[in-house]
A and B are shown apart, each in its own frame.
Chain A
Amino acid sequence: MSVGIVDYEAGNLKSVETALLALGARIVVADRPEVLLKADRLIFPGVGDAAAAMRVLKARGLDQAIVQFVNSGRPVLGICLGSQVVLDASEENGAVCLGLVAGIARRFAPDSGLKIPHMGWNQVEPTADHYLFSAIPPGASFYFVHSYYPQPQDSAAVIGCTDYGVRFTAALSQGNLAAVQFHPEKSGRYGLQMLQNFLQCRA
């Protein structure tokens, strides 16, 4: 089984790669549609600007390839920016996104008195029974670095929530697509467990 990691120059893929290698996964750097579409499962990471990410995805034809991959029913995991780009749009520079899950990415209110980005470890409460949370205690902490958060239109897509001034969606899922706002690859043993859960989920 091969795991494709979408490479579109949006931040550092290295940490996702090393975590998956530590778990014994066979990884493929998916920087072209034909490579991406051959993978058995797909991880869609990323940090940075949603609008810039969409520009690069489109320029490489990866946007259509990701949509095609999701529609094929194979498992997909979005990480950080990946959990925002799967939505319809983002408030970040008015980005139009992939539209795989109805909703938008919102910015934390700058007048909340809270520091932005939301950076550090915070607890994630599962709100649905989902394979990603197998063998992970409810309220386990994960590492976050972000200024925008996903807000799915349909609450049925929400599978985990976190509090930072507002209660926001930290994990979402729709069919074979799951996505998390935090960084499982940098979240210690429970983060590795979550990646393992993804590698082992039924296709």
Chain B
Amino acid sequence: MLEKRIIVCLDVREGKTTKGIKFRGNVDIGDPVEMARSYYHGGVDELVFYDITASSEQRSVMLDVVAEVARQIFVPFSVGGGIATVDQMRRVLLAGAEKVSVNSQAVKDPLIIDQGAAAFGNQCVVLGMDVQADHEMPSGYRVVINGGRTPTDRDALQWALEAVDRGAGEIVLNSIDADGTTSGYDCRVTRLISEAVSVPVVASGGAGTPQHVAEVLRDGAADAALVASMVHYGSYSIADIKRYLAAEGIAVRLDGLV
């Protein structure tokens, strides 16, 4: 049976992770490669790196991070943040990532999805989307871009369906309302999108406890759950989350837990 994935998200700025302040264990604080190694050995199923670097010359630092991660961890990982061209996608994939994720740029120029899927296959192209509850939209949710600061006129459900039609192989769905609250994922929008599209949906935003993760995998019909603060700040380990899920009857990979 296909197992639900637990994915750790690392925000990287100028080669350092930005949420690594109280990271547990004997690792270099804020070093994304060390953090990735630690999560890999702790049983994580997948990793996501978001490059929140502003300038283009610092993007090569991110490619170095990607290449080093690829040398040291042997689970899939994706890279996103500011990717706007097929050439940028190629560089990230050649550095060793399995997938690239596009978000605001895809809203501005949806053809990047078609071009990426044609060049590398649908399985390599992830659509990241930030959504906000808005009763004026047909599905009740609006797509927002630029890290949630800029509303668009796109409906969340329509955009998800269009992106999959264009070739997105997976969707990472982030609720701006829930993000940073640690009071739980938005299960409603997750279920809405996950049941409507043919590709896997990764829930993001709001995780604070293993119970929240269980809720979004079950009630939100998510295929995978993204976690960040709850593991970065040492409140829970990957093993804590997975053992809780297994006890709740949710199929997860228990190999390699420490």
Contacts and interface: CB of A to CB of B under 8 A. Distances in A.
A116 B45 CA distance: 19
A163 B45 contact: no
Interface stretch (B29-37, B67-75, B128-136): B67-75
B2 A164 contact: yes
Given A12-B93, A15-B98, A141-B253, A123 B1 contact: yes
A9 to B, nearest CB: 11
Query: In which size bucket is the chain B interface?
Result: 20 to 34
Contact of B200 (A47, A119, A190): A119
Determine chain A's interface SS by DSSP, over half rule: mixed
Interface stretch (A69-77, A171-179, A180-188): A180-188
Nearest to B44: A188
Contact of B45 (A118, A121, A145, A189): A121
A186 B4 CA distance: 16
Contact of B3 (A14, A137, A141, A183): A141
Given A120-B223, A188-B256, A190-B255, A143 B2 contact: no
B76 A143 contact: yes
B70 A18 contact: yes
Contacts of A116: 198-199
Contacts, number: 92
Contacts of A15: 70, 96, 98
B205 interface: no
Nearest to B45: A121
Contacts of B72: 22
Interface string B105-123: 0000000000000001111
A121 B5 contact: yes
Interface residues of A, number: 36
A115 B199 contact: yes
A145 B120 CA distance: 14
Q: Which of B4, B72, B255, B256 is packed against the most chain A CB atoms within 10 Å?
A: B255
A188 B93 contact: no
Given A18-B70, A18-B96, A116-B198, A121 B123 contact: no
A48 interface: yes
A160 interface: no
B161 to A, nearest CB: 14
14 contacts: A14-B94, A15-B96, A21-B71, A22-B74, A48-B121, A117-B199, A118-B2, A120-B45, A121-B45, A121-B253, A141-B253, A145-B123, A189-B255, A189-B256
8 A-B pairs with least C-beta separation: A141-B253, A121-B253, A121-B3, A145-B123, A48-B121, A14-B96, A122-B2, A186-B76
